[in-house]
Amino acid sequence: MGTEESSTTTIDVPGKQLGTRRGTGDPATRGRTTIADGVVAKIAGMAARDVVGVHAMGSGLARTFGAVRDRVPGAARSATRGVKAEVGEVQTALDLEIVVEYGVSIAEVSRTVRENVISAVERMTGLEVVEVNINVSDVNLPDGDEEDDERPPLQ
């Protein structure tokens, strides 16, 4: 009469009774899931790299070290390069550092990156993304168009 029914399951093993388990409500609410900062950073990094106009992730120094590491046999490419995630119990905030291709609209690429990252992180983790800060640290110039080529060689 107005009380919630609970299911009771008894597990029997010949000669022993292991115990009784009572479950109430949704099994998904029994326990806790913790998502590491690195997991959110990987998801965000992959989502940002999927956007047309994003050439690379991270600062020049991070990309240089990453390029060296990528040449080591068996080393995996870092999906978290250029991404910093702060994860709470129900929310996350992200900082991304990107390099864009020359000629693209930085405002448009940033908007698309933000949308892609928020969608992927919220869908995969269930966390609310409260902010995605984007720092455009460089522009990738097409080959052969660099002004440095016009300088005389050092002697």
> By C-alpha distance, which of 41, 37, 8, 4 is closest to 22?
8
Position 42 pLDDT exceeds 50: yes
pTM of the model: 0.68
Other beta carbons within 10 Å of 122 = 14
Residue carrying structure tokens 């016009």: 150
Compare 52 and 30 and report the one with higher pLDDT. Answer: 52
Compare 144 and 80 and report the one with higher pLDDT. Answer: 80
Fold for 37-142, please state it.
Alpha-Beta Plaits (3.30.70)
Q: Where are the domains of the chain?
A: 37-142
92-107: burial string, b at 16+ Cβ within 10 Å, e else: bbbbbbbbbeeebeee
CA angle 84/117/49 to nearest 5° reads 80
Question: Of the given ranges (21-25, 40-44, 113-117, 135-139), which has the lowest mean pLDDT?
Answer: 21-25
